[in-house]
Amino acid sequence: MDIKQIVAAEPTGQSLEVRAWVRTFRSNRFIALNDGSTSQNLQVVVDFERESEALLRRITTGACLRIKGDLVESQGKGQKVELMATEIEVLGDADAEEYPLQPKKHSMEFLRENAHLRPRTQTFGAVFRLRHGLQFAIHKYFNDNGFFMVHTPIITGSDAEGAGEMFRVSTLDPKTPPLNDKGELNWKEDFFGKETNLTVSGQLEAELFALGLGKVYTFGPTFRAENSNTTRHLAEFWMIEPEVAFNDLFDNMELAEDCLKYVIRYVMEHCKDDLQLLHDRQQEEEKSLPQDKRAMPLLEKLAFATDNEFVRCSYTEAIDILRNSKPNKKKKFKYLIDEWGADLQSEHERFLVEKHFGKPVILYDYPANIKAFYMRLNEDGKTVRAMDILFPGIGEIVGGSQREERFDVLKQKIAEFGIDEESLWWYLQTRKFGTCVHSGFGLGFERLMNFITGMTNIRDVIPFPRSPKNAEF
């Protein structure tokens, strides 16, 4: 029986065996044990007069124990039941002089440096149980709505975003690389016979399957060789990318809003203890801050996303709102909005959500020159059928579009973006054989995790973060 079941059980005096790790051991009498199944610890009461001093010295924070005992009603506060130990065995010692996670407050940076041990902390146990719950909710949502999951390639010869920030994959010897007649690297000698990279998105391949299976989604790792050492960026992260045949941009908005509300409600219902722990953690962390510097309380923020209808607002309307806003006129924005065509920053997105509308916002019809080549060109010739969903505290959480289904227009856009047409021959060909309106979006899983957990650094919601100059573990 795991600790999650034990702490919810009735104190019947039944004999149980538990295997778990020591969080704390105080007064040579009370062990707080945790096996990772819950944020709650199991209190074990030790008869120290019966146990040897040698054994008691080995019960240290981080040690792994097997304990048999009787489950009884707790005599102390904070727990309904406790285990009266009848047999204790140390399965794995943890030297108190060496074990890094002693029972005191540790900085997030310290815990990132010890990412191999941080799942044993209360905060990160909650975060990673929530990560599991959220993954399950996403798969359940799409499965229950008739979608098929597609495993798109991790190694690819195309750049879905056209941005060029990709990790190269090669088996060529860097010391003696083969050269062609022009003195350039001869990719024909490489494993795949061409230049290949780690994928930045599974979208283009998902589109191929949507045009055969109707409704599909991907959930896989993506990679960006972007030298951004910030709290919002990772070099390796996970993306959810649904793609639906016959959906236009407004169908796409409906799908994205429904999906987000479903998965947030799912974790609110099924991960209450962990969310409460993270809510309380946030309140404790921010209690010394002035009121205007505090984030929206976690549970309130989640309800904000699920209980409000998302506002639909065109990019052009948003620019007018921002241009005439007080922060812009008083030059409080770091990036001032002067004219149509500006690429909105997080501060602008958050203003629209948190100050102007007071609801989640879906912006749409962006300038073509700040969006990707595959987005459908509008009749005005200067905007595309793109959409972004903006959330409080985080800004953009979803980016999507109606895809360009017209062969000639797509071919022209590929050329304008300077993308090698030959590398996308297969993508273009779908516009020649039974093309149709279709749409999809990308949801960054870690960005969603940040929102749901209240963690402020994206490196704290993925087990082993990859970032510039960091590929540890």
In a domain, 292, yes or no: yes
209 and 297 co-located in one domain: yes
pLDDT of residue 162: 61
Q: How far is CA 309 from CA 89, 203, 258, 312, in A?
A: 55, 27, 10, 9
In a domain, 109, yes or no: no
pLDDT of residue 133: 98
Range in 273-282, 288-297, 316-325, 352-361 the model is least confident about: 288-297
- Is pLDDT of 120 > 90? yes
Q: Other CB atoms closer than 10 Å to residue 333's CB: what's the count? A: 17
Domain boundary among 72, 104, 136: 104
Helix, strand and coil percent figures for the chain, each rounded to 5: 35, 25, 40
**Tokens encoding 387:** 């959409």
The residues, ordered by sequence, that sit 6+ positions from 38 with a Cβ below 8 Å of its Cβ are 2, 3, 4, 7, 273
Q: At what angle do helices 122-144 and 445-453 cross, to 10 degrees?
A: 120
The residues, ordered by sequence, that sit 6+ positions from 207 with a Cβ below 8 Å of its Cβ are 243, 403, 427, 430, 438, 440
- Is pLDDT of 77 > 90? no
220 and 347 co-located in one domain: yes
- Is pLDDT of 161 > 90? no
78 and 140 co-located in one domain: no
- Is pLDDT of 312 > 80? yes
33 and 130 co-located in one domain: no
Range in 54-63, 159-168, 240-249, 311-320 the model is least confident about: 159-168
H helix or E strand, kind and range, residue 273: helix 272-286
Range in 143-152, 257-266, 280-289 the model is least confident about: 280-289
Phi and psi, residue 323, nearest 5°: -60, -35
As a whole number, mean pLDDT of residues 383-404 equals: 96
- Is pLDDT of 384 > 90? yes
How far apart CA 434 and CA 56 sit, in angstroms, is 73
Instruction: Write out pLDDT tens, residues 210-246.
Output: 999 999 999 999 999 988 888 888 999 999 999 999 9
Beta-bridge partners for 242:
217
In a domain, 116, yes or no: no
In a domain, 473, yes or no: no
* Total domain count, the chain: 3
**Tokens encoding 271:** 């991960």
Tokens 């990709």 belong to residue: 166
129 and 192 co-located in one domain: no
Confidence of residue 75 (pLDDT cuts 50, 70, 90): confident
CATH number at residue 387: 3.30.930.10
- For residue 223, the one-letter residue type is F
Confidence of residue 163 (pLDDT cuts 50, 70, 90): low
273 and 183 co-located in one domain: no
pLDDT of residue 227: 87
146 and 39 co-located in one domain: no
As a whole number, mean pLDDT of residues 325-353 equals: 95
300 and 441 co-located in one domain: yes
What range defines the domain where residue 177 resides? 171-197
In a domain, 470, yes or no: no
In a domain, 436, yes or no: yes
393 and 302 co-located in one domain: yes
Instruction: Write out pLDDT tens, residues 92-117.
Output: 999 999 999 999 999 999 999 999 99
263 and 356 co-located in one domain: yes
In a domain, 210, yes or no: yes
Range in 154-163, 257-266, 362-371 the model is least confident about: 154-163
As a whole number, mean pLDDT of residues 172-188 equals: 92
- Is pLDDT of 333 > 80? yes
184 and 293 co-located in one domain: no
CATH number at residue 94: 2.40.50.140
In a domain, 469, yes or no: no
190 and 319 co-located in one domain: no
